[in-house]
Amino acid sequence: MLTIVLMIHLLLAVFLIAVVLLQRSEGGALGIGGGGGGLVSARGAATALTKLTWALAIGFIITSLALTMMAAGGGPVSIFDQPGEADPASIPLPSLPSSDGGAGAGTGTPSGGDIPLPSAPEE
């Protein structure tokens, strides 16, 4: 069902783009387009394209909402409805470096962990 609605959604998007591009420009685009003779110059055809644009836009919005509801899959509606993974008080904090006056500083040995420091290149 999701695939069918997605295909309809994509077709509506393509047709909506095509219908919008077929419409006559109302001007205001730095003088580009909107001249006297265009692809659609009759008032009746312009009204039909406007109605078709509205219908395609409404269909696009409806399929967008349907895809959103289908993607939710009956899961939680809000992130507040989801149970927490862990209590924040039970999360272990990283250990802080010791405050022994900087022992080991500059000697090339780590001062609190088992991660070796890079040594200076030999010349």
For residue 9, give both structure tokens: 């959604």
Contact, 8 vs 63, CB < 8 A? yes
Look up residue 116 and give its DSSP letter.
P
> 């990283």: which residue's tokens?
94
46-92 tens-digit pLDDT: 688 889 999 999 999 999 999 998 887 766 666 676 666 666 677 77
* pLDDT for 5: 93
* pLDDT for 81: 66
State yes or no: pLDDT of 9 exceeds 70. yes
* pLDDT for 123: 66
* pLDDT for 25: 72
* pLDDT for 111: 53
15-57 tens-digit pLDDT: 999 999 988 776 655 555 555 555 545 566 668 888 999 999 9
Residue type, 82: Q
CA distance 86 to 72: 24
The length of the chain is 123
* pLDDT for 12: 97
* pLDDT for 18: 94
pTM of structure: 0.50
